[in-house]
Amino acid sequence: MIENSVGYFQLPFAVAPGITINGKLHPLIPLVIEETSVVAGLCKSILFTNSHGTISASQSGDGFIGQIHFPNIKNVENFELSILACKDYLLTKANQGPCENMVQRGGGVKDITVRLITRNDGKTMGVIHVLVDTKDAMGANTINQTCEYLKPMVEAASGEQALLCILSNYNTEKITKVEITIEGIDETLAKRIEEASVIAQFDHYRAVTHNKGIMNGMDAICLATGNDWRALEAGMHGFAARNGQYRGLSNWVSEGKQLKGILEGPINVGIVGGVTNIHPLAALALRCLKVESSTELAYVIGAIGIIQNFAALRALVTDGIAKGHMRLHLKNLLKQTDATEPEQEKALKLLEKIFDTKHYVSANDAHNVLKELRS
Ligand code: MEV
C-alpha cells in the first residue's frame, strides 16, 4: 500500500457493542486505537445509551468539493462568466472522462461553481469548485484526477492561469448530523453535561480537548475501516471553526431527565475503493458494522463520536477522568518497568492503594513499588 515499507506497525483492534441508528442495528463497532480507557468508556456509555436513548441521523447534500485555484485573476469580470458559459461542456467532458465509472454507479460531476476571494494585497483569487457525487467511495483520487483533467480547459476558457488542483477536505456540500436523545438520566448529571458542552462553545482551549475526545471514537472507526482519519480530522476541525471561532463539535441540552446531544460535521468516508477493499481487516470491520452505504458509515462514525463525548463529559463532571483511566494506566506504567508478569500483578495492587490515598500515581511510584517487592 505504501512506499519503502519494511514491516507492519500493529495497533489494538477492539469491538464495542452495537448501536441502532434510524431504527437500524449496527451489530458490532470495530475500533482501532492505542489509548487506554477510550474503549472502556465508550462501551459503558453505549450500554447506557442503548437502554436509555435513541439515535437519529441525517445527511445534507451528496457532493464532494474538488478545487481548481487561480491565485491571481487578471480579468475579474470575465472569469466567472467564462467558466459558467462552458459549464455544460465541462460537466460532459468530466463525466465521459475521469468520472465515467462514477456515472455508471449513479454519481459523477454534478455542478461547477466559481468563487472570487480578495487577497490582502488587493489581488483577486479565483476558485472553481467541481462538485462530484462519489457515491459509496470517498473518491479522493477521482476528484483530483477530474480537477487536473479540467484544468487546461478552464484555463483556455478563462485565459487565466491556474496554480493547483486538489479536493477540499472541508466538504460543506455533505454534512452529517447525528442526534441522540437520552431519557431518564439523573437531572443533575444532565445539567452538568450541558454546562460542560457550553464551556466548549466559548473557550477554545477547552473546545480543542472536547473535540479530541469526540475524535477518539470517530478516528478509531475510521482507522478500523481503512478510511483516511487525517482527512476526517482536518474537515471536522475546519467545521468547528466555521464561524470564525473554534468551538466544540457537539452541543448538549438538558430538560429535566432528558438530555439531547447533537453533533454535526463533514464526515466523508467510503465503503468501496481505497484501502477499504484491499485491507482484509478493514473489510472485516465493515462487515461487523453491517453498513450498506458510505452514508450509513458516516452515521455510525458520528454517533460513536457523540457517545464517546458523552462518556468523557460524564466522567469529567462526576469522578474526574483519572479514576476511570487509572487501572489501565497503572498497568501501562508497570509495563514500562522490567517487572515480570507475577510481579506486575502484585505491584498493581500496591499502586492502586497509593492512588487511593494520594489521588495520583507516577512512574517513580511504579519503580519504587517494584523495588519494595523485590527487597
Ligand atoms: C482524552 O483522550 C479525551 C478527553 O480529554 C476528552 C475531554 O476532555 O472531553 C477525556
Distances (CA, A) of 290 to 130, 195, 285, 360: 31, 35, 9, 42
Grid coordinates standing for 364? 517513580
What CA–CA distance (Å, rounded) separates 195 from 316?
A: 12
Average pLDDT for the chain: 95
CATH code assigned at 121: 3.30.70.420
- Of all protein residues, whose CA lies closest to atom 10 belonging to ligand 1? 312
User: Rounded to whole angstroms, how far apart are CA atoms 157 and 82?
Assistant: 6
Identify the residue whose cell numbers are 500483578: 345
CB within 8 Å of 244: residues ≥ 6 apart: none
Distance CA 184, CA 190 (A): 10
pTM of the model: 0.90
CA 166/CA 68 separation, integer angstroms: 7
- Ligand 1 mean position to 183 CA, how many Å? 24
| Model confidence at 277: pLDDT above 80 | no
> Which residues does ligand 1 sit against, CB inside 6 Å?
35, 209-210, 212-213, 216, 312, 316, 321
Residue 361 cell numbers, joined: 500515581
pLDDT exceeds 80 at position 29: yes
Give the atom of ligand 1 at the shortest distance from the alpha carbon of 38.
2
Instruction: Point out the ligand 1 atom lying closest to the alpha carbon of residue 309.
Output: 9
Q: Which of 111, 144, 167 is the last residue of a domain?
A: 167
107 shares a domain with 157: yes
State residue 274's pLDDT score: 79
Cell of 318: 462526576
- Domain around 35: 19-57+178-318
Quick one: pLDDT at residue 126? 98
101 and 41 inside one domain? no
Ligand 1 centre to CA of 258 (Å) is 23
The residues assigned a catalytic role are 35, 212, 228, 325
Ligand 1 midpoint to CA 212 (Å): 6
pLDDT of residue 327: 75
**Minimum-distance ligand 1 atom for the alpha carbon of 313:** 9
- Is residue 182 located within the same domain as residue 284? yes
At which of 144, 167, 190 does a domain end? 167
Is 72 among the domain residues?
A: yes
**307 and 196 part of one domain:** yes
Q: Model confidence over 347-366: pLDDT tens digits? A: 999 999 998 888 888 899 99
Cα three-residue angle 282-176-305, rounded to 5 degrees: 60
Q: Do strands 164-167 and 175-182 pair parallel, antiparallel, or not at all (unpaired)?
A: unpaired
Do residues 230 and 293 share a domain? yes
pLDDT band at 258 (very low <50, low <70, confident <90, very high): very high
With respect to residue 11, please indicate whether it lies within any of the assigned structural domains.
Answer: no
Distance CA 262, CA 176 (A): 11
Residue 115, SS3 per DSSP = strand
pLDDT band at 27 (very low <50, low <70, confident <90, very high): very high
Number of domains in the chain: 3
> Would you say residue 164 has pLDDT above 80?
yes
Asked whether residue 332 carries a pLDDT value surpassing 90, the answer given is: no
So what's the pLDDT on residue 319?
Answer: 84
Asked if residue 313 and residue 205 are part of one domain, the reply reads yes
pLDDT of residue 279: 92
CA of 266 to the centre of ligand 1 (A): 21
Of all residues in the chain, the percent with pLDDT exceeding 90 is: 87
Say yes or no to pLDDT of 231 above 80: yes
For residues 156 and 235, membership in a common domain is answered with no
At residue 133, does pLDDT exceed 90? yes
**208 plus 227 within the same structural domain:** yes
Q: Under the phi-then-psi rule, with left for phi > 0, alpha for psi from -120 to 50, and beta for the rest, what region is 18?
A: beta
Give yes or no: residues 284 and 202 share one domain.
Answer: yes
Q: What digits encode the pLDDT tens for the residues 306-327?
A: 999 999 999 999 988 877 777 7
- Report the C-alpha gap between 345 and 156 in whole angstroms: 72
Identify residue 345 by its one-letter amino acid code: E
Rounded to whole angstroms, the Cα distance separating 250 from 256 reads 20
Where among 120, 146, 167 does a domain terminate?
167
pLDDT of 278 strictly over 80: yes
Give pLDDT tens digits for 3-14.
Answer: 999 999 999 999
Mutate to test the pocket of ligand 1, among 35, 203, 208, 212 (most ligand atoms within 8 A of CB): 212
Residues 282 and 268 in one domain: yes
208 and 335 belong to one structural domain: no
Q: Is residue 257 part of a domain?
A: yes
Compute the average pLDDT of residues 76-91.
97
